[in-house]
Amino acid sequence: MTNVELPTAEASLALVGHLRERSPEFGALVDELADAAVALRHVGLTQWQMGRLGSSIEALLAALSLQPQSSDMWRDLASVYNASANIDAADSAIRRSLLLDPQSAQSWLILAGICDRRHDPAAAEAAYRRTIALDATIAAAHFGLGLLHFKQKAFEKAQHALSIAADRDPENGLVQACLGHVLFIRSDFEGSAQAFDAAARLGPLDPESKRKRARALTFQAMIEGSVAQALLNYPTLADGDPEDMTLIIRDAFSVLSASGHLEAAAELGRIRLAEQPDDPVRRYLLDAVSGTAVTAAPADYIESYFDRFAPQFDERLVKALHYIGPTVLFDRVRQHRTRFSCILDLGCGTGLAAEALSSGGPVLIGVDLSSGMLAEAEKKGRYTQLVKSEIVEFLTRSEARFDLIFAADVLIYFGDLSPLLAAAARSLVSGGLLALTLEIGKDADFTLLPSGRFAHTPDYLARLAASDFMVLDLIKDDIRLEAGVPTRGLYAVLQRH
């Protein structure tokens, strides 16, 4: 943080004298206000309004040298520094203001914005909340907090804060548009369209908001009535800028599946499968939303789906869906052991866990069914060996023995886990660890979800593991986002008897 240095009082008074000589109006202003510091502040604020940030800062610094205990002038200076992108100086000035007046809601609001620009979300959130505690009517504080939560992908919190901001400042079209985007992510399509309509009444929507509004109205119509009719109406709702219909159908299927609107999703799935009846991805995902009984995802689905997904996998899963499975799971492993002689990354994908796992031992083998994913994993340069294989088949035929098998986001493609756990036990040395993640189910041992993944109950895992493993670690935590909502998962570390 940069400390803001003030000119000497003598220099500031000299400036006042110079301004008096050059500008009779300034002299009259000083006489009228009977205070040189206040007059200089007035000049500083006027220069700011005119866009002359350098002159504004000079005048405010001079004013503060004459009246350094003015919290308001320190706040003004912070605002001008912030506008000039001198974030360090802005931070220093606003903290000086808060030392003089810690009860100023406006100063806390400015600090929140500065912390946000400094990429310090914890400090920004604390400052926004302090602002609201001091004055809950400040819509900008709720808006800033909502945007902060949005960037953190905490969409429920973002919706709450933005809804308050919209209530406090109903004539702010930007707030309404941001609320529309959050509601869309949270699958409240009716509310999303209403928020976009409120924004449109206050000014023209940006192109992305117009597209989201058309999608929201179309998806809501699919939920309420005929999918076919909703698709026919979509070009009109898109107002002359329709997206490709294939893209709309694909995304509608994905979003409605994830948000639990399975009847509409199944109708979309049938449309998609009719277009490409031999597509294993479309066939399996239709089975998933239709409730077809299966015990594992078919190999042709796994291979085809992830081959297509591989180039965008890291970007989509980590950034868009906030996937944290490998990080949390490896942290749990390190609670029990840090060094291994031979590690197997089961279903390694693009190698999201490779950097962490390679730090744990000299040999790291990755196995995956998708050639596309293995090609991406190869780019990481962390694996001793990469093998294309179905994972149970690999474990069954391989003569290698491992002291850590790492299976993040892999068992979710198996309903019946008994063959996989038995094969893993065979491939582990005595005392070796099996680290895995599952999505948590409720009633049946395993359930096929509309996403095409399986959920399992903790009791089911414990029963299957009992014969070959001891449970070292079992925690519940978030794994990823699904329709804007965190998906709860089970993180387990098992030790081979």
DSSP string, 287-324: HHHHT---SB--HHHHHHHHHHHGGGHHIIIIIIS---
27 confidence band (pLDDT: 50, 70, 90): low
More confident residue, 232 or 24: 232
Give the per-residue pLDDT at 392: 96
Q: How confident is the model at residue 318 (pLDDT cuts 50, 70, 90)?
A: confident
**294, two tokens:** 């299966």
Looking at residues 486-490, what average pLDDT do you find?
91
CA angle, corner 432, sides to 428 and 436, nearest 5? 85
**Is a pLDDT exceeding 90 seen at residue 363?**
yes
pLDDT at 290: 94
Closest CA to 373 of 327, 318, 325, 311: 311
Dihedrals phi, psi of 291, to nearest 5 degrees: 80, 25
Q: What is the pLDDT of residues 422-435, one digit of tens each?
A: 999 999 999 999 99
What pLDDT is recorded for position 136? 97
Cα 208 to the chain's mean position, in Å?
19
pLDDT for 19? 63
Domain 9-202 has CATH 3.30.565.10: no
The pLDDT value recorded for residue 68 is 87
Task: Give the pLDDT band (50/70/90) at residue 30.
Answer: low
CB atoms within 10 A of CB 55: 16
CA distance 312 to 43: 54
Confidence label for 37 from pLDDT (cuts 50, 70 and 90): confident
CATH class of 309-496: alpha beta
Confidence grade of residue 39 (pLDDT, cut at 50, 70, 90): confident
**pLDDT at 231 exceeding the cut of 80:** yes
pTM of the model: 0.87
* Long-range CB contacts for residues 144-153, cutoff 8 Å, separation at least 24: 144/109, 144/112, 144/113, 144/116, 145/112, 146/178, 146/179, 146/182, 147/178, 148/116, 148/121, 148/124, 150/178, 150/181, 150/182, 151/121, 152/121, 153/322, 153/481
> Does residue 407 register a pLDDT over 60?
yes
Q: Is the pLDDT of residue 276 over 80?
A: yes
Alpha-helical segments (H) within 276-427: 280-290, 299-309, 313-314, 325-334, 354-358, 371-380, 391-397, 418-427
* pLDDT tens sequence across 84-107: 999 999 999 999 999 999 999 999
For 245-265, what is each residue's pLDDT tens digit? Answer: 999 999 999 999 999 999 999
What is the mean predicted confidence (pLDDT) over 484-488? 86
Mean pLDDT of 341-345: 97
Torsion of CA 383, 388, 393, 394, to 10 degrees: -20
pLDDT digits (tens, 9 = 90+) for 446-478: 999 999 999 999 999 999 999 999 999 999 999
Q: Where are the domains of the chain?
A: 9-202, 207-293, 309-496
Average pLDDT score over the chain = 92
The residue among 215 and 240 whose pLDDT is bigger is: 215
